[in-house]
Amino acid sequence: MTRHFLEVDDLSCDELDDVLATASLPMAEVPKVLAGRGAALVFEKPSARTRSSTELAVVGLGGHPVYIQGLEVGIDERETAEDVARTLACYHAVLCARVLDHTTLVRMAGALDESAPGVGSTALFDEDSDGHDDGDRFPVPVPVVNLLSDRGHPCQALADLLTLRQVFGNVEGRTVAFIGDANNVWRSLALAAAMTGIRVRTASPEGYEPDADDLARVARLGGEIEVTSDPMEAATGADALYTDVWTSMGQEEEQELRRKAFAGFTIDEDMVGRAAPDAVVLHCLPAHRGEEITAAVLEGPRSVVWRQAANRMNAVRGLLAWLLGPGGGGAR
C-alpha cells in the first residue's frame, strides 16, 4: 500500500514518533533511500525554506531533486493534476508538491494509488532477459508529500515538533500558545500536538478562529484545544508562543483588513513575560517585524526560530527516509 503524506494525521502516533526519531539522526546514519533516484518537487507557489530544505534533504538521502515551477506543468491548464502526477511518477521515486488548492494533492495521490494502473517509478522497472527495461511494467506507485497547501503545512509541523523536543525533551503535557490566524500552519500544528500530548491554546480575533470541523478533528485524536480572543490569556504560563504572518500569500487584498483585525495580537516582550520562565518563541517564517512579532522577540534570547528553520531540512529528510523505507511501505 502506498503511503502518502498530505497531513500529519496520515501517520499513526507511533509512526509519527518513528519519523521524528529518524529526523533526529545524524545525516550519516540516515539510510540513503533515494540513492540514484529522483524526487519531483512541484511548486505552484514560490518558496525559500521549503525549496532549500527539501532539495538538501533529497541530496542527503542520495537522491537528485528536480525543481518544477507551476508554469512548467500548468496543472489543470496544460494537463490535469492526475496526468502531471502519473507522468512524474514515471521518473521519480517521490512526488512532493507545494500547491494552491489542497484538492490538487488529493487528486495526485488518488491517481498514484496502487489501484491506478500503469504508474510507478521507472527505477524499479522489470527488465527483460536481455537486461533492458520493458517500459510497460510499473510495480510500485510513488508517494505524494504535501510541502504546503491552503489546508495544511505538515512538514512545518514536523519541524516544530523536532524543535520542541530539542528544547524540552519530553513534550507531553507542554502548552503551546498559537497567537494569530488559525490557518494551514495552525491546523497541522494542532494535529501534531494532539498526537504527541501537547496542549494548544489558540488566540485569534473573531472570524479567524478555528472552525468546528478543525476542533472536532483534533478532538478525535485526543487533543486539547483552548480557544480565546485574548492573546495575553493564551500566553499566560505557556511553554511556547507561536505565530505566523497575518497575511499569507494570496491574501494580499485583505492586508489592511487583517492588520486592523489582528491589532493587539503582536508577540512582544510583554507577552513573552506572561509565558513560563523557560518559554520559547516559534515562527514558521517569513516574519513581518512589527506586525505579528517584534524584532526584539524574534531576535531575542527566547527565540528558537532559526533552529526551527534548520529543522525543516531534518524533518523532510526523516519523513522521506521513513516513507521510502520499510516503515512507509518499503524501498521503491
Catalytic residues: 98, 153, 156, 244, 284, 312
Backbone angles phi and psi of 117, in degrees to 5: -75, 150
CA distance 163 to 48: 19
Quote the strand ranges of the chain, DSSP E: 38-43, 64-69, 92-98, 144-148, 175-179, 199-203, 225-228, 240-243, 280-283
CA distance 1 to 113: 8
CA distance 326 to 271: 45
Terminal Cα-to-Cα distance of the chain (whole angstroms): 12
DSSP 43: E
CA distance 332 to 323: 10
Provide CB contacts within 8 A for 95, sequence distance 6+. 39, 40, 42, 85, 88, 89, 108, 112, 142, 143, 144, 145
Question: Apex CA 5: angle with CA 37 and CA 325, to 5°?
Answer: 45
Give bridge partners of residue 69 from the DSSP assignment: 43
Backbone angles phi and psi of 116, in degrees to 5: -85, 125
CA distance 106 to 81: 9
Backbone angles phi and psi of 267, in degrees to 5: -80, 110
